């Protein structure tokens, strides 16, 4: 029996969701497009708390925008430095406090497992807005939504994830999610930043996976190029970062051999892995992806707060 009950649910790992549930979230996201343009009072009286223990521009503002567009209100902090965490408060106590103020909490934290821990303590739904280098499930949902919107489908696509597949959390959640579809996955990274073993194990029996280091070789075959930043702040050793910095550069020369209808996505922020000259190409879709993040987060807020069924 399909469990399509979302009210009160945490969104901690994308692995907790079936293909049917993900498709349902994508459908609700589509229905949010007009509300994102004209606004709604669907969540009037509800409060979202955004607790961000790590830097963010898009994810926090996107959650807040989504809540405001649905008529709800927002509280929270973006700098843990100024919150009581600085005084030594532990995460469980912060959550048990904030659940009194808010109906739903979006949490970003530098530690793997933080969102899971928060969900164990919280009475209100926890939306994982990035847990260490582990997962970023709402980003994966907006990535899927973007692929479906741009390509009309997800099944049948050939998709390359490129860059830091070891420390990048978006690619972990995205690989789990894509393994529920009939796709071919290329994992392109420097040798030292290969996709985490546990992710490979979870996906390789479900879909065809090709690992490699050479992007030029795969570029003519793919429909979606998902580029990521090398996650400097997560390297234990600065010398290791220096070795891999700037490994991949997406530029017009590389794209000469790409399919005309290739789409290029990036969770952003970008450093130098996509040249500015690519921004004007029809393939560049990373800024459209930002808009899609709003409608997907509107859908998630409405679902976990029980405003849509
Ligand atoms: C990503 C993140 O925080 O993991 N950013 C985002 O949420 N869009 C990617 C990154 O920081 O490189």
Task: For 171-184, write each residue's pLDDT tens digit.
Answer: 999 999 999 999 99
**Ligand 1 pocket, 130 CB below 6 A?**
yes
What is the predicted pLDDT for the residue at 47?
Answer: 99
For residue 79, what pLDDT is reported?
80
- Hey, what are 168's tokens? 């990048």
> Is the distance from CB of 125 to CB of 8 less than 8 angstroms?
yes
* Bigger pLDDT: 86 vs 253: 253
Please report where in the chains the tokens 């959640």 appear, as a residue. Answer: 173
The structural domains of the chain, ordered by start, are: 14-136+292-304 (3.40.50.1370), 137-290 (3.40.50.1370)
Out of 80-89, 133-142, 246-255, pick the least confident.
80-89
Residue 265 Cβ contacting ligand 1 at under 6 Å = no
% of the chain residues with pLDDT over 70:
98
Quote the pLDDT of residue 2. Answer: 57
For residue 62 and ligand 1, the question of a CB distance below 6 A is answered with: no
pLDDT of amino acid 1: 46
Whether 136 is in the pocket of ligand 1, judged by its Cβ within 6 Å, is yes
Which numbered atom of ligand 1 lies nearest the CA of 54?
3
CB 287 within 8 A of CB 17: no
Alpha carbon distance 182, 81 (integer Å)? 44
CA-atom Rg of the chain in angstroms: 19
Query: Kind and range of the H or E element at 67?
Result: helix 58-69
Catalytic residues: 58-59, 87, 108, 136
Strand, coil or helix: 28 = helix
C-beta separation of 129 from 50 below 8 A = yes
Question: Ligand 1: which of 54, 64, 132, 136 to mutate, judged by most atoms within 8 Å of the beta carbon?
Answer: 136
Question: Mean pLDDT over residues 138-149, rounded?
Answer: 98
pLDDT in tens, 98-112: 999 999 999 999 999
pLDDT 10s digits, 287-304: 999 999 999 999 999 999
Query: Is the CB of 303 inside a 6 Å radius of any atom of ligand 1?
Result: no
- What is the residue with the minimal CA distance to atom 1 of ligand 1? 267
pLDDT digits (tens, 9 = 90+) for 62-100: 999 999 999 999 999 988 776 777 677 899 999 999 999
Residue 169 Cα: closest atom of ligand 1? 4
Tens-digit pLDDT profile for residues 10-40: 999 999 999 999 999 999 999 999 999 999 9
pLDDT value, residue 309: 81
Ligand 1 atom 11: residue of nearest CA = 269
Q: DSSP of 170-222, one letter per residue?
A: HHHHHHHHHTTSS-EEEEE--GGGPPPHHHHHHHHTTSEEEEES-HHHHGGG-
Task: Determine contact, residues 295/36, Cβ cutoff 8 Å.
Answer: yes
Verify whether ligand 1 is closer than 6 Å to residue 163 (CB atom): no
Beta strands in the chain (DSSP E): 47-52, 73-77, 104-109, 126-131, 158-162, 184-188, 208-212, 224-227, 263-265
Which of 170, 227, 234, 296 gets mutated to test ligand 1 (max ligand atoms within 8 A of its CB)? 170
- Confidence at residue 84, expressed as pLDDT on a 0 to 100 scale: 72
pLDDT of residue 3: 59
Are the beta carbons of 96 and 121 closer than 8 angstroms?
yes
CA neighbor of 58 nearest in space, from 165, 162, 149, 170: 170
Is the minimum distance from the CB of 227 to ligand 1 under 6 angstroms? Answer: no
pLDDT at 238 over 80: yes
Q: So what's the pLDDT on residue 85?
A: 72
* Interval between CA 84 and ligand 1 midpoint (Å): 25
pLDDT tens track for 181-210: 999 999 999 999 999 999 999 999 999 999
What integer pLDDT is reported at residue 194 of this predicted model? 98
Model confidence at 233: pLDDT above 80: yes
């Amino acid at each position: 029996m399909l469990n399509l009950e979302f009210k009160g649910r945490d969104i901690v790992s994308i692995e907790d969701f079936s293909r049917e549930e993900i498709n349902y979230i994508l459908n609700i996201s589509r229905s949010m497009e007009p509300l994102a343009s004209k606004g709604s009072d669907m969540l009037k009286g509800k409060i979202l708390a955004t607790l961000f223990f790590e830097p963010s521009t898009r994810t926090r503002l996107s959650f807040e925008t989504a809540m405001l567009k649905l008529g709800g209100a927002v509280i929270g902090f973006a700098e843990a430095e100024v919150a009581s965490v600085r005084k030594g408060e532990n995460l469980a106590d912060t959550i048990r406090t904030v659940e009194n103020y808010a109906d739903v909490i979006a949490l970003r934290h530098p530690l793997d497992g933080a969102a899971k821990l928060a969900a164990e303590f919280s009475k209100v739904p926890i939306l994982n807005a990035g847990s260490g280098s582990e997962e970023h499930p709402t980003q994966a949902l907006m990535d899927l939504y973007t692929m479906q919107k741009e390509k009309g489908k997800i099944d049948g696509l050939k998709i390359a994830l490129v860059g830091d597949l070891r420390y990048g959390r978006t690619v972990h959640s995205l690989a789990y999610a894509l393994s529920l579809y009939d796709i071919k996955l290329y994992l392109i990274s420097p040798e030292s930043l290969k996709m985490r073993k546990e992710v490979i194990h979870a996906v390789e029996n479900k879909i065809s996976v090709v690992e490699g280091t050479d992007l030029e070789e795969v570029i003519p075959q793919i429909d979606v190029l998902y580029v990521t930043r090398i996650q400097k702040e997560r390297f234990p050793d600065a010398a290791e970062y220096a070795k891999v910095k700037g490994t991949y550069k997406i530029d017009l020369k590389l794209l000469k051999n790409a399919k005309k209808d290739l789409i290029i996505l990036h969770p952003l922020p970008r450093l130098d892995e996509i040249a500015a000259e690519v921004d004007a190409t029809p393939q560049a879709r990373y800024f459209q992806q930002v808009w899609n993040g709003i409608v997907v987060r509107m859908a998630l807020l409405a679902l976990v707060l029980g405003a849509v069924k």
